[in-house]
Amino acid sequence: MAVISYREALRAAMREELKRDENVVIMGEEVAQFNGAYKVTEGLLKEFGPKRIVDTPISEAGFIGLGIGASMLGIRPVMELMFWSFSYVAFDQVVNNAGNIRYMSGGLINCPIVIRGPANGGTNVGATHSHTPEAILASHPGIKVVCPATPYDAKGLMKAAIRDNDPVYVMENTILYNDKAEVPDEDYIVPIGVADIKREGTDLTIVAHGRAVITSLKAAEILEKEHGVSVEVVDLRSIRPLDEETILASVRKTHRALLVEENKPFCGVDAQIAYLIQSRAFDELDAPIGRVSSIDAPQIYSKKLEDLQLPYPARVVEAALKVLA
Amino acid sequence: MAKNAVITHPESLKRPAGPSEYAKDPVNASLSKADKIALYTKMARVRHFEQRCIRTYQQGKIGGFLHLYVGQEAVAAGTISLLGKFDHIITGYRDHAHGLLVGMSMKECMAELTGKVTGCSKGKGGSMHYFAPDKNYWGGHGIVGGQAPLGTGLAYAVKYRGQKGSCLTYMGDGAINQGAVHEAYNLAALWDLPIIFVIENNGYSMGTSQERSTAHPGCLAKRAEGYNMAWDVVNGHDVYEVRAKTAIALKRAHEESKPTILEIFTYRYFGHSMSDPDKTYRDKEEVKGYRETKDPVFLFEKALLDEGVLTKELVESINAAAMEEADAAAVFADESPEPTLADITKHIYWEEDNRGPKTTSSGTIIFE
Ligand SMILES: Cc1ncc(C[n+]2csc(CCOP(=O)(O)OP(=O)(O)O)c2C)c(N)n1
Ligand SMILES: [Mg+2]
């Protein structure tokens, strides 16, 4: 076990998989010579050479589509998007081609591609660079979406994604890249579709993913210290597939649920989860389900206001107290 | 509207159709009698299959869109006739001919059109989404130009594996205005990928003539120069010429790992799809002219009769057999079962269809 950053954990996952399978290639803008826009792929070119670590032009529809085509023939491309926001210029490839081809071919073709990169607000870069498309993409059958919140999960989910035979979209978070934690040196995966209880509690269930998990854990601290409330934090880790049973088991234990995410409110991931809870655990609920999302506006540039636009611990505490009232 | 440069047609298209100057090209001269008959038979099969499709459509058995290739047969037939083990193809939605020519059966093709479980895509793809990866055929794509990056990726994979192969990536004259196509051109040239972009230029994108859709310097293939890529224009009514010029591009792909854009001039006889009444954007006379003087199947038939390869009797029996095969395919499609309700949620994820000790994910992936 070593203490490494979320960034290093992602890199370790890619390095191990590059070594394990010669079909794995890393591709994207600035991933090779420049060592990665966010240094996630730093050193990989030196270690694996230009056949495996490939710089692309600024051409998301072109190179993501190329990766999808190559994956149809058994290459296992791990494509970096500098920001998931840029997937929007490649949306046809990401959804129509990667997401549909297995289905439309009646199962004759599969598409073992990984597309990864940061999908988060909170970095003071304005609306075009701050999208969080996990709900949009997870609404397409054929696509898998994971959102690691910790270094351990980042490595394990990335390795699982690379070995997966379906398209897996890994949504990272630039604000988490420097977070450090203990990560095993040995080979392990975090199976896709398994949620993780990041904190056990008895009075309230918070369901979150990505950085909202970290925010929720901070809020849970405050709720315990200042309000004597025991909060359970369920980290989804994977959006599609979704670990419904872990969510339901937690709600059946605490009887109250608060959903926290960095998406905008309309049709976020929480909409799906709220539906799940009311349909399968309605009688277990002692209060209406609460939620905290980003304030419903394009991402604001102003740093001070952006920090208020995203969920932050005090806002989560306030919403939790309402559900607990 | 700005005036374009005059269209640069291939030399052979500037003259009335006559004996092909490409008949003696090595790639054609090396064909045996049997090879030539087989090529003609394939073209006739494509023609009769699609003509049978019209009837099935008119009987109300084919839903959605049905884009026919009638008039364009020499393009797919000529190009595909040259392909080997490591050569792949991918195309748009006008995809029946390519399917039959790589060896898909009329039965699976017809059953797909009628949405039956015996169809090549088990009734999940339809007319625009044929696939046969076992025959290096990667579809069948409904989004105009969307297949161009995929074809580039197939070529990339061939090169990555060190195989002497290529990917023929077909698209229409309208598709070349899509951004994804330009991105694919750039990547193919930048990375020296063994790909041939085949522009099937039938003069129209739906009801929009080339003149109304495209700024060009004389032809569409010439855009290759902007990417430092090789290109050529081809008379798509002459299967010998298609083969001769494709062979050069294929050699470039196999031996130099370099891309080419081939613009193949052709013409479609029917509307854009069966739902196009074909009344607003071109003259009946224009269609008639092509049918009477440039029909690729008829021209090849005539060439082979003149060469003494075919006889009138043989022509009749080949065509009769193709019609019979198409009829049998229609009967097969009629008699085939529909997919079941349970089939709707199959073939979405590889992992769900292949559950076993090696699959690791869990959780709900198909929602209620
Ligand atoms: C992105 C997209 N836009 C529009 C359409 C509708 N559409 C389908 S085919 C077509 C015309 C394309 O013409 P061309 O590329 O010349 O090919 P052809 O049909 O002549 O073979 C159009 C507009 C589509 N399928 N996809
Ligand atoms: Mg056209």
Q: What residue of B is the nearest CA neighbor of A94?
A: B146
Rounded-to-integer distance, Cα B248 and Cα B197, Å: 13
A260-270 pLDDT, tens digit each: 999 999 999 99
Cβ neighbours for B59, distance < 8 A, ≥ 6 positions apart:
none
Q: How many helices (H) and strands (E) does chain A have?
A: 12, 14
Shortest distance, CA B281 to any CA of chain A (angstroms): 29
- Residue B205 CA to ligand 1 center (angstroms) comes to 6
Our answer to whether residue A60 is catalytic in this structure is yes
**Closest ligand relative to B69 C-alpha:** 1
In a domain, residue B161? The reply is yes
pLDDT above 80 (res B3): no
At position A89, the amino acid (one-letter code) is V
pLDDT above 80 (res B1): no
**Closest ligand relative to B273 C-alpha:** 1
Q: Which atom of ligand 1 is nearest to the CA of B72?
A: 21
Shortest distance, CA B309 to any CA of chain A (angstroms): 39
In a domain, residue B333? The reply is yes
Give whole-number Cα distances, A117 to A36, A85, A112, A269, in Å: 11, 9, 17, 19
Beta strands A196-199; A204-208: pairing state: unpaired
Shortest distance, CA B136 to any CA of chain A (angstroms): 9
- DSSP character at residue A158: H
CB B272 less than 6 A from any atom of ligand 1:
yes
pLDDT above 90 (res A69): yes
Per DSSP, the three-state class of A241 is coil
Task: Supply the DSSP string of A306-323, one letter for each residue.
Answer: HHHHS--HHHHHHHHHHH
Rounded-to-integer distance, Cα B102 and Cα B85, Å: 11
In a domain, residue B362? The reply is no
Tokens of B314: 């043989």
Give CA angle at B315 (B313, B319), nearest 5°. Answer: 120
Whether B39 contacts chain A with CB within 8 A: no
Do A124 and A300 contact (CB within 8 A), yes or no?
Answer: no
A139-158 pLDDT, tens digit each: 999 999 999 999 999 999 99
- What's the mean pLDDT when you consider all of chain B? 97
Catalytic residue among A60, A134, A232, A262: A60
Do B155 and B195 contact (CB within 8 A), yes or no?
Answer: yes
Whether B274 contacts chain A with CB within 8 A: no
Sign of CA dihedral A279, A285, A290, A291: negative
Task: Supply the DSSP string of A51-107, one letter for each residue.
Answer: TTEEE--S-HHHHHHHHHHHHHTT-EEEEEPS-GGGGGGGHIIIIIIHHHHHHHTTT
Give whole-number Cα distances, B334 to A181, B19, B47, B64, B328, in Å: 62, 42, 21, 17, 10
Whether B141 contacts chain A with CB within 8 A: yes
B124-159 pLDDT, tens digit each: 999 999 999 999 999 999 999 999 999 999 999 999
Question: Which residue in this structure is represented by tokens 């988490």?
Answer: A176
**Nearest CA-CA partner of B175 in B94, B250, B70, B259:** B94
Do B5 and B217 contact (CB within 8 A), yes or no?
Answer: yes
- Residue B144 CA to ligand 1 center (angstroms) comes to 5
Cβ neighbours for A196, distance < 8 A, ≥ 6 positions apart:
A153, A234, A235, A237
Per DSSP, the three-state class of B310 is coil
Q: Do A69 and B152 touch (CB under 8 A)?
A: yes
A302-313 pLDDT, tens digit each: 999 999 999 999
Tokens of A186: 């040995």
Testing ligand 1's pocket by substitution, the residue of B66, B73, B206, B278 carrying the most ligand atoms inside 8 A of its CB is B206
Q: What's the distance, CA B317 to chain centroid?
A: 26
Give the mean pLDDT of A210-223: 98
CATH code reported for the domain at A196-324: 3.40.50.920
The torsion angles phi and psi of A28, rounded to 5 degrees, stand at 160, 180
Q: Do A108 and B157 touch (CB under 8 A)?
A: no
What are the start and end residues of each CATH 3.40.50.920 domain in chain A?
196-324
Rounded-to-integer distance, Cα A205 and Cα A199, Å: 10
Give whole-number Cα distances, A156 to A2, A150, A238, A239, in Å: 15, 10, 12, 15
Give whole-number Cα distances, A41 to A18, A28, A148, B219, in Å: 12, 10, 17, 43
Contact pairs from chain A to chain B, CB under 8 Å: 193
Question: Which residue in this structure is represented by tokens 């929602």?
Answer: B367
- Whether a cis peptide bond, with omega within 30° of 0, leads into A167 is no
What are the start and end residues of each CATH 3.40.50.970 domain in chain A?
2-183
Q: What residue of B is the nearest CA neighbor of A54?
A: B191
Question: Which residue in this structure is represented by tokens 């490649």?
Answer: A90
Q: What residue of A is the nearest CA neighbor of B134?
A: A108
pTM for the whole thing? 0.97
CB contact residues (below 8 A), chain B span 159-188, against chain A: 160, 167, 179-180, 183-184, 186-187
Tokens of A63: 């190179």
ipTM of the complex: 0.95
In a domain, residue B364? The reply is no
Rounded-to-integer distance, Cα B251 and Cα B305, Å: 30
Whether B138 contacts chain A with CB within 8 A: yes
Rounded-to-integer distance, Cα A113 and Cα A165, Å: 8
Task: Determine which of A227-241, B12-26, B137-151 has the lowest per-residue pLDDT on average.
Answer: B12-26
At position A123, the amino acid (one-letter code) is T
Shortest distance, CA A314 to any CA of chain B (angstroms): 32
B161-181 pLDDT, tens digit each: 999 999 999 999 999 999 999
Whether B351 contacts chain A with CB within 8 A: yes
Q: Which atom of ligand 1 is nearest to the CA of B67?
A: 19
Give whole-number Cα distances, A170 to A21, A185, A267, B282, in Å: 19, 21, 20, 49
Q: Do B363 and A241 touch (CB under 8 A)?
A: yes
Shortest distance, CA A251 to any CA of chain B (angstroms): 17
Q: What residue of A is the nearest CA neighbor of B152?
A: A66
Per DSSP, the three-state class of B269 is coil
Do B148 and A63 contact (CB within 8 A), yes or no?
Answer: no
Q: Which of B148, B154, B364 sits opposite A242 (nearest CB)?
A: B364
Percent helix / strand / coil, chain B, rounded to 5: 45, 10, 45
Q: What residue of B is the nearest CA neighbor of A75?
A: B157
Position B184 confidence tier, pLDDT thresholds 50, 70, 90: very high
- Residue B175 CA to ligand 2 center (angstroms) comes to 8
Class of domain A2-183: alpha beta
In chain B, DSSP assigns E strands to 87-90, 166-172, 195-201, 204-205, 208-209, 230-235, 260-265
In a domain, residue B12? The reply is no
Residue-level pLDDT at A113: 98
CB B204 less than 6 A from any atom of ligand 1:
yes
Rounded-to-integer distance, Cα B350 and Cα B353, Å: 5
Rounded-to-integer distance, Cα B174 and Cα B182, Å: 13
Beta strands A257-260; A238-240: pairing state: unpaired
Our answer to whether residue A129 is catalytic in this structure is yes
Whether B354 contacts chain A with CB within 8 A: yes
Give the mean pLDDT of A213-231: 98
Query: Which residues partner with B205 through β-bridges?
Result: B208
- Show the domain range for B78: 29-353
In a domain, residue B293? The reply is yes
Testing ligand 1's pocket by substitution, the residue of B72, B95, B143, B144 carrying the most ligand atoms inside 8 A of its CB is B144
- Residue B200 CA to ligand 1 center (angstroms) comes to 12
Cβ neighbours for A268, distance < 8 A, ≥ 6 positions apart:
A135, A261, A293
* Number of domains observed in the structure of chain B: 1
Rounded-to-integer distance, Cα A146 and Cα A240, Å: 7
- DSSP character at residue B340: P
Q: Do B361 and A193 touch (CB under 8 A)?
A: yes
CB B142 less than 6 A from any atom of ligand 1:
yes
Tokens of A90: 């490649």
In a domain, residue B255? The reply is yes
**Nearest CA-CA partner of A15 in A50, A52, A57:** A52
Testing ligand 1's pocket by substitution, the residue of B50, B205, B281 carrying the most ligand atoms inside 8 A of its CB is B205
Q: Tell which of A103, A139, A196 to mutate to test the B interface (max B CBs under 10 Å).
A: A103
Q: Which of A103, A165, A189 sits opposite B348 (nearest CB)?
A: A103
Per DSSP, the three-state class of A300 is coil
B224-269 pLDDT, tens digit each: 999 999 999 999 999 999 999 999 999 999 999 999 999 999 999 9
Element (H, E) at B366: none
B191-215 pLDDT, tens digit each: 999 999 999 999 999 999 999 999 9
- DSSP character at residue A242: B
- Residue A90 CA to ligand 2 center (angstroms) comes to 24
- What's the mean pLDDT when you consider all of chain A? 98
Cα torsion B319, B325, B327, B331 to 10°: value is 180
Give whole-number Cα distances, A309 to A150, A170, A177, A318, B290, in Å: 23, 24, 21, 15, 64
Do A193 and B365 contact (CB within 8 A), yes or no?
Answer: yes
A165-197 pLDDT, tens digit each: 999 999 999 999 999 999 999 999 999 999 999
